[in-house]
Amino acid sequence: MSTIKELGEREIIKLFLKYFAFSTLNLKHLNDDVALFNLFKGKMVVLKCDMLVSSTDVPPGMSFKQIGRKAIVSTVSDFAAKGVKPLALLVSVGLPRNMLKTELAQLAAGLASGAKEYNVKIIGGDTNESKELVIDCVGYGLCNKKNLILREGAKPGDILASTGEFGAVSAGLKIALNGFKVSKSLRKKLLKSVYMPKAHLKEGLALAKIKAATASIDSSDGLAWSLFELSKMSKVGFIIKNLPIAKEALIFAKLNGLNAVELALYGGEEFNLVLTIERGKWRKAVEAVEKAGGKLHFLGEAIKKKKITLSLNGLKEDVKPLGWEHLKA
């Protein structure tokens, strides 16, 4: 008999969807970053539920304040990918009974800090006892349907882009989880990328406003897996002609005899937006993101053939459908 660790998170979601088929709601977008509900006159309710569990989502060395902030960031990031401003959050916490009062205060401070950073209100939630720390955030937002950026709108010829570089978090996790040794300054920079992630909300909102992005996803499960998700939903492929790798990740890879490209492709927890941009609006998109305080990196383009290929420095190779997945053996 199969256990759920053999199924993995994505197969578990498919199983649940079979039982939800009777629902009168539109389940078409349940595989997107957020849940959507038609309201009236072209308005949509945007909802997101995101859970942080200490044993699987908190690397060694992360403070309770950073944990609380990360719970907010991971929720806001999915709103960013849709170009939607989150308006309110419900935050439920499962607390182990041996947790110290000082740790609880730091956790609360982190939640408040994240909410303030992205200008979203925490309006309620629930508390319960649990074997380990669990934080579950439910986000709420509103948008005009015509401004929403889904995973399914990419077309052949669209420019593939990201709002950030890759590889730093993957390298930082190797330090935190596997004990890789580097200089003090490099260690500090790489661990900061792990402990203090950022949601690219301003960039997502800027692109939605000018209607330049045709599809979008956040890269929390890794760049490669994000591309395969966009490919599946949009029914296109991608050719990667440029891979923006953080300089710290390049140094880390060289010092430890690792492949920097693999660090960039198959990591996770980076929360960059991975998007396709209408070719005729590329310059406008670059300017809009820069005006919002961010940067848009060219990665490649969408193609008709449903295949993801890396084409760098004269070499071509297929990208593997690998990335982070909860419960997978």
The average pLDDT across 293-315 equals: 95
pLDDT in tens, 134-145: 999 999 999 999
Residue 102 lies in a domain: yes
Structure tokens at 311: 């084409």
* Across 232-236, average pLDDT: 95
The pLDDT, as a whole number, for residue 33 is 80
Q: Domain range for residue 183?
A: 159-318
- Mean pLDDT on 152-159: 97
82 within a domain of the structure (yes/no) = yes
Q: Do 118 and 79 reside in the same domain of the chain?
A: yes
Residues 135 and 182 in one domain: no
Half-sphere exposure at residue 208, Cβ-oriented, CA atoms within 13 angstroms: 23
CATH code assigned at 56: 3.30.1330.10
Q: What are residue 190's DSSP bridge partners? A: none
Domain assignment present for 24: no
Count structural domains, the chain.
Answer: 2
CB 33 within 8 A of CB 48: yes
pTM, two decimals, is: 0.91
Q: Over 60: is that where the pLDDT of 26 sits?
A: no
Q: Is residue 227's pLDDT more than 60?
A: yes
Q: How confident is the model at residue 329 (pLDDT cuts 50, 70, 90)?
A: very low
Instruction: Clarify whether residues 170 and 312 are in a common domain.
Output: yes
One domain, residues 196 and 278: yes
Question: Which among 156, 150, 165 has a CA at the least distance from the CA of 299?
Answer: 165
The CATH number given to whatever domain includes residue 232 is 3.90.650.10
| Structure confidence by residue, pLDDT tens digits, 52-88 | 999 999 999 999 999 999 999 999 999 999 999 999 9
Q: Do 228 and 99 share a structural domain? A: no
Instruction: Please give the single-letter amino acid code of residue 218.
Output: D
* 149-183 as b/e: b if 16+ CB within 10 A: bbbbbbeeebbbbbbbbbbbbbbbbbbbeeebebe
Average pLDDT across the chain, whole number = 92
Contact 150, 32 (CB under 8 A): yes
Same domain, 200 and 294: yes
